[in-house]
Amino acid sequence: MKQQLEQIKNQAIEELKSAADLKAVDDVRVKYLGKKGELTAILKQMGGLSPEERPIVGQLANKIRAEIEETLTETLATLKDKETEQRLAAETLDITMPGKKTAEGGLHPLSIVLDDMIDIFRSMGFDIVDGPEVETDYYNFEALNVPADHPARDMQDTFYLAEGLLLRTQTSAAQIRTMETRKPPIRILCPGRVYRADEVDATHSPVFHQIEGLVVDKGITMCDLKGVLEQFAREIYGPETKVKFRPSFFPFTEPSVEVDVSCSECGGVGCRVCKGSGWIEILGAGMVHPRVLSACGIDPEEYSGFAFGIGLDRITTTRYKISDIRNLFENDLRFLEQF
Ligand code: PHE
């Protein structure tokens, strides 16, 4: 029996030495030390030994088991090291290889300019609000003092939808929605897309962007309107910018103005950007018509306000000297990557 044990030990150690991988090592473990392994089988026969022999053989068996286990652990460790070494060798990085350039996303020029404008008006205490692009006739026209037969409707060629709905032609609809839900003092800015059935050319697009502003409080005057818009123009175009208020007409403001700024490109001399005039028209504005206030349940005897609608596309094309407005909508990466 002692001989058998010695033999098992030698065999096991021999096999471990020639084991090529982790799997082979485990096979050896099962073959000798496993429940049905050879060493276990021998131990099961110990019952047949005399009481004097039993502890001696038992001790020997334990020693042999320990020796096999030790060799097994050592072999495992060596094989694992070898494997790691091989893997690392196969994985070597060539740090002299050139890197791959990942394309970085950027903001659309309209978003850049809009963010700047939002910053300017926020610093003057305006809240940013949102409004639907699909509007009812009431919010887009009726409540803005443009009744059904009013000639002013022809100023804006409207895309009509089913069930009396339309695509808003102006962000001014947000004035009404705001005044219906908020009490004065009101100071909001509503940027968004607007739609008009215009012929497409370098300066016209059926979808474009406006930024509506509305201020309503006690004692608001035309001076407040001028002050806010002059401040805005200087911040967006530079401190030397001159601002010109021309009388105009909008059904929902009285009096109404259109606002030009001196051309930031030529300083007012006349150039390609301002089409030789020295001025760039950027917005329409005026004092909120008393009828509009009344329609929203605000007493025009107690409150007054001003509103303005800025053309975001115009501000963007003049700032970046973009000669064709269609560039803003076509999403050509060669164009967009310049910003
Ligand atoms: N909604 C007008 C337009 O689209 C602009 C405007 C807004 C004028 C607010 C006055 C007050 O032309």
Ligand 1 atom index nearest CA of 169: 4
Phi, psi of 24 (to 5 degrees): -60, -40
Going through 95-239 in order, the beta strands assigned E by DSSP cover: 127-128, 134-136, 165-167, 186-195, 207-217
184 lines ligand 1 (CB under 6 A): no
Best residue for ligand 1 mutational test, from 168, 170, 190, 211 (most atoms within 8 Å of Cβ): 170
In this structure, the strands spanning 304-311 and 207-217 are: antiparallel
Ligand 1 atom index nearest CA of 214: 9
- CA 217/CA 191 separation, integer angstroms: 21
Residue 193 pairs with which residues in a beta bridge? Answer: 209
284 lines ligand 1 (CB under 6 A): yes
- CA 234/CA 24 separation, integer angstroms: 81
Q: What angle do CA 45, 46, 50 make, to 5 degrees?
A: 130
Contact between residue 212 and residue 172 where contact means Cβ atoms under 8 Å apart: yes
The alpha carbon of 309 and the centre of ligand 1 are apart by a number of angstroms equal to 5
Residue 283's SS3 state is strand
CB atoms within 10 A of CB 30: 11
Q: Atom 12 (ligand 1): residue with closest C-alpha?
A: 284
301 to 10, 127, 225, 293: CA distances (angstroms): 111, 25, 19, 10
pLDDT by residue for the chain (339 residues), tens only, comes to 788 888 888 888 888 888 888 888 888 888 888 888 888 888 788 888 888 888 888 888 888 888 888 988 888 888 888 888 888 888 888 889 898 888 888 999 999 999 999 999 999 999 999 999 999 999 999 999 998 888 767 667 899 999 889 999 999 999 999 999 999 999 999 999 999 988 898 888 999 999 999 999 999 999 999 999 999 999 999 999 999 999 999 999 999 999 999 998 888 899 888 889 999 999 999 999 999 999 999 999 999 999 999 999 999 999 998 989 999 999 999 999 999
Q: What is the pTM of this model?
A: 0.72
205 lines ligand 1 (CB under 6 A): no
